Structure 1
Amino acid sequence: MNPGRERSETRRPSVFWALALIILPVINLAVRFKVTDVGKFPRTGAFVMAPNHFSEIDPVLMGVLSWKLGRAPRFLAKASVFTLPGLGWLLRKSGQIPVQRGGSVRGSEPVKAAERLVERGQMVVVYPEGSLTRDPDLWPMRGKSGAVRIALERGIPVVPVAHWGAQQIMPRYSKKLSLFPRRTVLVKIGDPLDLAEFRGRNLDSATLNEATKVVMDAITQLLEDLRGETAPTKRWNPAEHDQKETGRFEA
Structure 2
Amino acid sequence: MLKVRKVQEKRGWAWATVVAIIKPLLITTTKHEWIDGEKIPASGGCVVAMNHISHIDPLTLGWLLYEHGRLVRYLAKDALFETPVVKHIVRDAKQIPVSRLTSDAAKAFDAACQAVRDGECVGVYPEGTITKDPTGWPMRGKTGAARIALETGCPVIPIGQWGAQDILPAYSLRFHAFPRRTAHYKVGDPVDLSDLVGRPITNDLLQEATERIMAAITDLVADLRGEPAPAVRFDPRAAGVRQIGNPRKDKKRRRA
What is the Cα deviation at residue 50 of structure 1? Answer: 0.3
Does the residue aligned with 2:146 lie in a helix, a strand or coil? Answer: helix
Deviation at 1:105, TM superposition (A): 7.3
Distance 1:122 1:70, change over 3 A: same
> RMSD across aligned C-alpha pairs, in angstroms?
1.7
Q: CA deviation at 1:104?
A: 4.2
Could you state the TM-score of these two structures normalised by the residue count of structure 2?
0.89
Shift of 1:4: 4.6
In structure 2, the partner of 1:212 is 210
Supply the AA of the counterpart residue of 2:185. V
Mapping 1:169-208, distance limit 5 Å: 169-208=167-206
> Matches of residues 72-151 of structure 1 in structure 2 within 5 Å?
72-104=71-103, 108-151=106-149
- Does structure 1 conserve the Cα–Cα contact (< 8 Å) formed by 2:5 and 2:67? no
> What is the Cα deviation at residue 8 of structure 1?
1.2
CA displacement 1:122-149 (0-9 Å, x = unmatched): 0000000011111111000000000010
Residues 1:8 and 2:8 aligned together: yes
Q: Aligned partner of 1:179: which letter?
A: A
Aligned partners of 1:130 and 1:143 also within 8 Å: yes
Contact 2:49 2:126 in 1 (8 A): yes
Corresponding residue for residue 254 of structure 2: none
TM-superposed CA distance for 1:114, in Å, is 0.8
Q: Do the aligned partners of 1:37 and 1:190 also contact (CA within 8 Å) in 2?
A: yes
Contact persistence 1:3–1:70 (CA under 8 A): no
**AA in 2 matched with 1:224:** A
Contact residue 156 and residue 194 of structure 1 kept, 8 A? no
Change beyond 3 A, Cα 1:5–1:139: closer
Q: Secondary structure at the match of 1:198?
A: coil
User: How far has the Cα of 1:96 moved from its partner?
Assistant: 0.3
Identity %: 43
C-alpha distance in 2, partners of 1:13/1:142?
34
What is the match of residue 64 of structure 1? 63
Count matched residues. Answer: 241
Distance, in Å, in 1 between the alignment partners of 2:79 and 2:3 is: 33
Task: Give the TM-score normalised by structure 1.
Answer: 0.91
Q: State the distance in 1 between where 2:28 and 2:38 align.
A: 25
Q: Which runs of 5+ in 2 are unaligned?
A: 242-249, 251-256
1:38 is matched with which residue? 37
